[in-house]
């Protein structure tokens, strides 16, 4: 009889060794079992045990993060994104989760032209942003990342303004993307300054000066933009206005006055000029 009991105990321990966590009950035991399976590349079993862990404790954020990583390995990206979004609404400055979310989230939203017009009216034309936290994480901020990648001036500028709003209201991690948006918008504007709304360009320049005025890279690019704007207004090529060292833009009513500091000889040939903002 004693031999039979001994054999049963040995068999029991062998079962535990072969199928780790089979008797796990706590969230930590489920988590550890899941991690063992994940480290062995057994992602379906890992997903099952991570899910059990979060079922025991829905606020077990580390288990949710790894559940998302497991689903990522299984190609269940949308489900993984759901887990990471849930975490960020509670831990908005969790850098590891944010990077996972940021990589995938833009692929699961649409950005139509009417979306851009609506967002422009809200963020660039003194609208009133009134987005819920969930709406912002699931749609608005992923759309902002799409805006940053576009090749025109307005889109990355709009994306930068949304990133600033996100930095204030959601996560400080968005602030670095705000700067990226301004720089990309500036690069695109330098390539093609013609045809843009002068009032919006002036607003953008003021923001660049106030927010990044101490940044040498921004100052260099702004100087290039000023030269192009000045050349455009006097009908010269940028090459012929290379002596411009300072350009000032002033708004008086609907008129934007452009003045430039040049060498004495050039100053006599090219007086100050101005243009009117369209209605």
Consecutive 10-residue runs of the chain (279 residues): their mean pLDDT?
48 44 74 97 97 96 98 98 98 97 97 96 90 96 97 96 97 96 95 86 92 90 86 62 54 52 42 37
pLDDT at 161: 97
Report yes or no: 198 and 256 within 8 Å, Cβ to Cβ: yes
| Domain parsing of the chain, residue ranges | 26-107, 109-243
Structure tokens given for 255: 């008129």
pLDDT score for 16 = 44
Task: With both helix axes pointing from N to C terminus, report the angle between 95-104 and 61-73 in degrees, rounded to the nearest 10.
Answer: 30
- What was the pLDDT predicted at 276? 37
- Which overall architecture, per CATH, does domain 26-107 show? Alpha Horseshoe (1.25)
Indicate the pTM of the whole model: 0.77
What pLDDT does 234 receive?
A: 64
pLDDT of residue 149: 95
CB contact set of 10 (below 8 Å; sequence gap of 6+)? none
């Amino acid at each position: 009889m004693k031999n039979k009991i001994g054999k049963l105990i040995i068999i029991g321990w062998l079962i535990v060794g072969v199928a780790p966590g089979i008797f796990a009950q706590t969230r930590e035991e489920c988590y550890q079992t899941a991690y063992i399976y994940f480290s062995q590349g057994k992602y379906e079993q890992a997903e099952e045990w991570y899910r059990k862990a979060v079922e025991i404790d829905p606020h077990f954020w580390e288990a949710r993060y790894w559940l998302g990583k497991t689903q990522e390995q299984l190609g269940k990206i949308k489900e993984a994104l759901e887990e990471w979004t849930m975490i960020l609404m509670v831990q908005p400055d969790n850098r590891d989760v944010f990077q996972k979310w940021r990589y995938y989230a833009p692929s699961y939203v649409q950005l139509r032209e009417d979306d851009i017009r609506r967002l422009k009216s809200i963020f660039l034309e003194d609208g009133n942003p009134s987005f819920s936290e969930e709406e912002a994480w699931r749609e608005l901020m992923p759309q902002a990342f799409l805006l940053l990648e576009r090749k025109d001036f307005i889109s990355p500028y709009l994306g930068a303004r949304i990133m600033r709003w996100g930095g204030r209201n959601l996560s400080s991690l968005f602030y670095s993307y705000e700067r990226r948006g301004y720089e990309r918008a500036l690069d695109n504007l330098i390539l093609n300054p013609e045809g843009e709304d002068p009032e919006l360009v002036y607003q953008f320049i003021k923001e660049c000066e106030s927010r990044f005025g101490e940044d040498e890279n921004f100052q260099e690019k702004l100087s290039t933009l000023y030269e192009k704007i000045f050349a455009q207004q006097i009908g010269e090529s940028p090459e012929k206005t290379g002596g411009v060292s300072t350009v000032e833009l002033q708004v008086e009513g609907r008129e934007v006055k452009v003045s430039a500091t040049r060498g004495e000889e050039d100053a006599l040939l090219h007086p100050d000029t101005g243009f009117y903002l369209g209605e």
